[in-house]
Structure 1
């Protein structure tokens, strides 16, 4: 389904209902004129390529979860649906992955964020959240018993933290938010002996293996700033841990602005331009998403940070995004910096690109409603 333009809420409603997604998103989320908004067109091109050519599209894993969170951001931004996310969620029966040996492994919880987006913006049917809600409830009970070390690698923040925040707010459940704060504090201050957040640099180590090494992985830090942006979007001002989340978010943004490459990307190893030098788009897209959201939310100063976002989106949309629609230079799955090639792509890289586009579109005059 393609439209010559987005003419307000009525047209979007028809598009979304035609896609079988259920209730339409709010008008303010999706009145961007797709015909004149280059960001919207770039998002559509990237999404279309992945759903036509991507690999392992069925699994309810963290990679596909990241894509589908971005894919729903695409629908909300452009009013155009490729009709893939709802069937994916339905085929997986809105379930999370599980393993009895590691029942609260954060990667297994990532699909919950996509289910929350379906529920919140398109299809508010309670069964969508049943498995996620049970997982959070069960995990919170163990946190209250003193088990706080589940988030012992930085990626875990994005895999699990947004769902904890959103379920806690949705259910008005202070216990969920308190457990989230304890889990975050472990990651920040205790994992690896002294915590994964390095106060001197304002960056995160990936896991205990890297604590004290000086290696700060781009995508690992991308997961962290994305998680914080998503949590800050929903967390009430009265939450006792909000100030700490905001402090870390701002400190990260300040450092990231300084270490951005001249070409707009960030290096795979953030502080060492000689370690796997070259473009890396997944971390770059996550930084773009987080920093652009910070500007849109009035948290980050536009005069200082807008050039960072502009350079980053130019790199993503003119070099990472290729004419075919392939989003390249995505570092392959792994727990450490690595070189990314032009042809390297993955679901999480495309999803991060789409999320970045959502926030960049909000900063782009040509993408605003007439």
Structure 2
């Protein structure tokens, strides 16, 4: 009996030690190694960044999915200024003449997403053609009174940072003021934010009476992750004295507080935040976006470290140990869509219709983890 009790205690101690080890912070070297690995996989797969993307149809590579990848690449470049990264991004922009998908006249947020990287590359080397089209497109929107273009929440991440960047670049607050008006239209007038749960319905299709199988509201993980990323990137680019800055800070804090208790025990978030049985399972992109927001919030003193660090560690270790293949491919990545059922099944080996935006989300999260390790 005594031997059996000692054996049980040893097993318990070994299990506790393994759990503790699994929730340790990674080293800076480990984080950088995984960023380099996953990014190298993608760059080798797409040696020509201007090559059209073919899935169910052919698209130019300045589409939103690829633009999100370049957000992540530029974040990596900020930590590791490898000329190959810079050249890859410049070649991408130049291959499209620094223009937007569907042309300068577009008002669509997805098409504006490429402008985030164009502007960042302009700030490195101020060649006017790098911002000519994106600024012209936003100015065209500003010449009208229409503010209800962003009728799906992904749009906030795609376009809000561009308006914030243009304000910082030009010193003209007209861009940030219009951004605020459009954001508030999405939030309040269109009513896509639910202040009772501090989460967003993806678009009007998912507002009540629409419900998940368990009867709860449908809050799509990646959709809410896009809003988290929108707040982070807007705050990064927006001047410190912007009168609406607190709105974005508060939104980030409210949302991350709301997703904290629905994190899975394994560190991931389900595709459906309030119905864990609706296409339950691990999912990388939404998890990476929440991790990005939490790590950035801690790094910038907007979130309590002692409250969020356990979730941050669990999320990082989940992605790092379970999503990343030996060759750098990211598993458990939901394909494009707008709700939990899209892009299913999501597994370790399943290949989404687009891989690029998932890598962008991971690189954004990983760069903040790298800083957090300090």
CA contact (8 A) 2:193 2:201 kept: yes
SS of equivalent to 1:359: helix
Aligned to 1:20: none
Whole-angstrom distance in 1 between the partners of 2:156 and 2:357: 15
Aligned to 1:37: 29
The answer to whether 1:296 aligns with 2:288 is no
Compared with structure 1, are the counterparts of its residues 99 and 86 closer, same or farther at alpha carbon in structure 2 (3 Å cutoff)? closer
Aligned to 2:115: 112
Q: State the shift of 1:36 in Å.
A: 6.0
Whole-angstrom distance in 2 between the partners of 1:50 and 1:337: 26
Whole-angstrom distance in 2 between the partners of 1:116 and 1:336: 31
CA contact (8 A) 2:235 2:245 kept: yes
Aligned to 1:341: 347
SS of equivalent to 2:107: coil
Q: State the shift of 1:70 in Å.
A: 0.6
2:92 paired residue among 83, 88, 93: 88
The answer to whether 1:139 aligns with 2:135 is no
Whole-angstrom distance in 2 between the partners of 1:37 and 1:128: 33
Whole-angstrom distance in 2 between the partners of 1:295 and 1:260: 18
CA contact (8 A) 2:28 2:373 kept: no
Number of equivalent positions:
323
Whole-angstrom distance in 2 between the partners of 1:85 and 1:337: 32
Question: For 1:281-360, what aligned pairs fall within 5 Å after superposition?
Answer: 281-338=284-341, 339=344, 340-342=346-348, 343-345=350-352, 346-360=355-369
Aligned to 1:207: 203
CA contact (8 A) 1:119 1:129 kept: yes
Q: Deviations over 1:51-71 (max 9, x none)?
A: 222595661000110111111
CA contact (8 A) 2:28 2:370 kept: no
Question: For 1:11-26, what aligned pairs fall within 5 Å after superposition?
Answer: none
Whole-angstrom distance in 2 between the partners of 1:267 and 1:215: 12
Whole-angstrom distance in 1 between the partners of 2:330 and 2:125: 29
Aligned to 2:167: 168
2:274 paired residue among 265, 271, 288: 271
Whole-angstrom distance in 1 between the partners of 2:150 and 2:264: 30
Whole-angstrom distance in 1 between the partners of 2:171 and 2:164: 10
Q: State the shift of 1:322 in Å.
A: 1.2
Aligned to 1:31: none
Compared with structure 1, are the counterparts of its residues 56 and 303 closer, same or farther at alpha carbon in structure 2 (3 Å cutoff)? farther
TM-score, normalised by the number of residues in structure 1? 0.83
Q: Any gaps of 5 or more consecutive residues in structure 2?
A: 1-26, 54-59, 211-216
Aligned to 1:19: none
CA contact (8 A) 1:69 1:117 kept: no
Whole-angstrom distance in 1 between the partners of 2:323 and 2:33: 15
Aligned to 1:9: none
After superposing on structure 2, the runs of 4+ consecutive aligned residues of structure 1 that deviate more than 3 Å are 54-58, 79-83
The answer to whether 1:53 aligns with 2:52 is no
Whole-angstrom distance in 1 between the partners of 2:257 and 2:299: 16
SS of equivalent to 1:84: helix
Question: For 1:118-133, what aligned pairs fall within 5 Å after superposition?
Answer: 118-120=121-123, 122-133=124-135
Whole-angstrom distance in 2 between the partners of 1:234 and 1:99: 25
User: Which of the pair has more CA radius of gyration?
Assistant: 2
CA contact (8 A) 1:225 1:287 kept: yes
RMSD: 1.8
Q: Deviations over 1:56-95 (max 9, x none)?
A: 5661000110111111212222333444211111111111
Q: State the shift of 1:333 in Å.
A: 0.8
